[in-house]
Amino acid sequence: MSSAVRFETVGLRYDAYGPEVLRDVDFTLPAGSFHFLTGASGAGKSSLLKLIYLGAAPSRGQVTVFGQETTRISPADRTSLRRRMGVVFHDFQLIDHLTAFDNAALPLRVAGQKPKAYSEDVQELLNWVGLGARIESYPPALSAGEKQRLAIARAVVGRPWLILADEPTGAVDDDMAVRILRLFVELNRLGATVLIATHDHELVGRSGMPSLHLDRGRLTQVPA
Ligand SMILES: Nc1ncnc2c1ncn2[C@@H]1O[C@H](COP(=O)(O)OP(=O)(O)OP(=O)(O)O)[C@@H](O)[C@H]1O
Ligand SMILES: [Mg+2]
* Choice from 20, 46, 213 to test ligand 1 binding pocket (greatest atom count within 8 A of CB): 46
Residues contacting 56, CB < 8 A, separation 6+: 12, 14, 47, 50
Whether 39 is in the pocket of ligand 1, judged by its Cβ within 6 Å, is yes
Cβ-based neighbour number of residue 219 at 10 Å? 23
Q: Distance (Å, rounded) from C-alpha 104 to C-alpha 122?
A: 7
The answer to whether the CB of 55 is under 6 A from ligand 1 is no
Taking the C-alpha atoms of residue 126 and residue 146, their distance in angstroms, rounded to an integer, is 10
Per-residue pLDDT tens digits for 189-224: 999 999 999 988 888 998 899 999 999 999 997 776
Residue 217 CA to residue 153 CA, distance in Å, equals 30
pTM for this entry: 0.96
Q: What is the pLDDT along the chain (224 residues), one digit of tens a residue?
A: 589 999 999 999 999 899 999 999 999 999 999 999 999 999 999 999 999 999 999 999 999 999 999 999 999 999 999 999 999 999 999 999 999 999 999 999 999 999 999 999 999 999 999 999 999 999 999 999 999 999 999 999 999 999 999 999 988 888 889 999 999 999 999 999 999 999 888 889 988 999 999 999 999 977 76
